[in-house]
Structure 1
Amino acid sequence: MSKLFSPIQLRELSLTSRVMVSPMCQYSALEGAMQEWHRIHLGQMAQSGAGLVMVEATSPTPEGRITHGCVGLWDDRTEAAMASVLHSIRATSPAKMAIQIGHAGRKASSARPWEGGQIVGLDQGGWQTLGPSAIAHMEGETVPHELSLAELRSMTEAFLSTVARADRLGFDAIELHAAHGYLLHEFLSPIANQRQDAYGGSLENRMRFPLQLFTAMRAAWPAHKPMGLRLSATDWVEGSGWDIADACEFAKRLAYLGADWIDVSSGGVSRAQQIKLGPGYQVAFAEAIKAVVNIPVIAVGLITEAKQAEAIIENQQADMVALGRGFLWDPHWAWKAAAELGASIAAPRQYWRSNPAQYKDVFGSVRFGAR
């Protein structure tokens, strides 16, 4: 029996497989509001057969967006737009839906990737970025405003408002984004955080705001619904920065505070990073974190093949795998993986005649007649 296509339980949420559609920014929102593109994109992902579909990084405030095209959930207008998309999905798919909530920090106010990805200055229609310290991501970029203690409290309230909206929208789970050089990762890394107060300096201090925010969000999110966190396991900067030992300590604290999973990525906080790319290049980080926590761990990053994903679960390197670009390239990746591994997977009845003859049982014991 395939381990990849075995069920997993997250609090009261039952997932039919250990495959997750990773949160992927689409840069196609209008002033934070989802558009028709999101209806098509997420609708397609919801038909993929993945155990969990994670909506892209969603900002709790306008200035927390990575780009002007990123999704937000900060007012009734953005909530209504998202509700419309989710209504379409639920009318056509039983997929379990989660949402990633995060603030871009000093990496906000950027151009969309196909426009170059560079920071957009105030004189070009951008906005003032925020961070733990007044340190730009790279030389020549806008220096972020250092958040005051009062502003940290306001930021927490904004996140909690988004949590309430996510619950009202009926999401099955939420994930706090603390990776890829965005705001919470900036607090964790000494490269971006050089504060002189209780939120900077030692590892304990640098973890303080992310842990406080997670605790507040966990308390506000319904107890029966799961909540996890995505972290960067390392800054990939030799001799300085956040590393896997720090990430393991952070993960242990999160598990103690009620996290239901740790989603393990890496990098993003420094232009000096030296990432060692390759198939499954972040799996070892997931395995290291799995060794120190007793909650599910998700591996992500260049996991592209069915047998590769199966081996990660079989060898207990992680409890789930997340695919991003793999699902963009092939929205039926999970169907084909199930077929290759001899597993069965649910598919829309309208597609029951699509499977090749050699995979006649991939959709289970279905019957289809025609005249």
Structure 2
Amino acid sequence: MQEHDLSFVRAEMVLAQAAPSRERGLTAWLRKNMFASVTDTILTLLGLFLIAWFLPGFLRWAFVDAQWTGADRTVCATASQGGVQPDGWSGACWAFVNAKFAQFMYGRYTLSERWRVDLTAILFVLLLVPLLIPRFPRKGLNAILLFLVFPFVAFFLLVGGYFGLRYVPTTEWGGLLVTMVLSIVGIAISLPFGIVLALGRRSQMPAIKLICVIFIEVVRGVPLVTVLFLASVMLPLFMPAGMTFDRFLRALVGVVLFASAYMAEVVRGGLQAMPKGQYEGADSLGLSYWQKMNLIILPQALKLVIPGIVNTFIGLFKDTSLVYIIGMFDLLGIVRQNFTDANWASAQTPMSGLLFAGFVFWIFCFGMSRYSIYMERRLDTGQRS
């Protein structure tokens, strides 16, 4: 047999080499992301100009000339650096936020009972964080505690009236407490309701499909303010004589119904994006309808619409501010209510309070957005037809 010359075959792997100098470092990043084209260069320079024009003045107002402590509006009448500036400039009135901070968090919740709100928040965080960490063990037990046990514990803690706890009516709730309860309950309930409505809209049973279509289109066709008014005013009319609903519960029902309709359309988009082969493959295995949905279709469909689901959650979190219209005071509502306090009536109070409320909303919305991006990358395993 003729021997072959294998001298041209490499006997060992080539060592990894560094990327070219033009492709690494800060200069390469700026070239690719900021100055890749003429248009990008113009927009980058325009953005830098706007930052240079706006940022120094904002930092001066928010930090240098700001008032951080004080008992009333008189501390906000002058700047912290040598009194009022010649042009009438004065800094932010963070003393107003500092003085009203507890009210912004709890509303008029009884002072001696606020530890119950703090304990509820701590329990929620302790149960939520492990559920959000993919590698954390005992996810099943964690989910049971969070979704089945915690709601009852939170109810008894916040409302009271049992186990020796003083009863605190929801009319005394306010601030971030109302915002968090409305948004968390709305998010937790609207997702499963939206999935059921999306499946019902794609159902082959005409009656089920018609009911779901009517509900989704009617609720999506009116603003949330209308839904809240209907839940607050008309819902009690459908109750038996002598039976009334708490106003907070009415608002919660309205928020859940409104969010469920939008969530249904998001989930329906994921179901329609699923390749037909997935349905046919499930049918060929002899799976029932619910087995097919639970094991094959829904896990993939929900993964596809994570951005839409989180976008709905963020919108719901911000829309809780509309309960102010029906006489409830969430974070933004109670901030606005305190503008009428004669002790803090000044030109800088509204801007400082609104910036504080906006920053709190941004923290929560930004957190949800970043976590959704993390989950998208983690679940990005590709799609097969």
TM-score, L = length of structure 1:
0.25
Which of the two has higher C-alpha Rg? Answer: 2
Bigger proportion of residues as helix: 2
TM-score, L = length of structure 2:
0.25
Bigger proportion of residues as strand: 1
